[in-house]
Amino acid sequence: MTEAEVLTFLDEERTVVCATNGPRGFPHLMPLWYVVRDGEIWAWTYAKSQKVKNLERDARATLQVETGESYDQLRGVMFECDVIVHRETSLVQAFGEELFQRYVGDPATEMVAAQAPKRVALQFREQRRATWDHRKLAQGVY
Residue 140: its pLDDT value, please? 65
Does the pLDDT at position 142 exceed 60? no
pLDDT tens digits, one per residue of 10-51:
999 999 999 999 999 999 999 999 999 999 999 999 999 999
Residue 98 neighbours by CB under 8 Å, 6+ apart? 35, 37, 107
pLDDT tens for each residue of 102-137:
999 999 999 999 999 999 999 999 999 999 999 998
Residue 41 is inside which H or E element, if any? strand 40-46
On whether the CB atoms of residues 35 and 98 are closer than 8 A, the answer is yes
pLDDT score at 133:
94
SS3 30: strand
Show Cβ contacts of residue 32 under 8 Å, excluding neighbours closer than 6 positions: 15, 16, 17, 18, 43, 44, 45, 122
pTM: 0.93
Q: Under CATH, which number does the domain 3-139 receive? A: 2.30.110.10
Q: Work out the pLDDT band at 138, boundaries 50, 70, 90.
A: confident
Neighbours of 133 (CB within 10 A): 20
pLDDT at position 141, please? 61
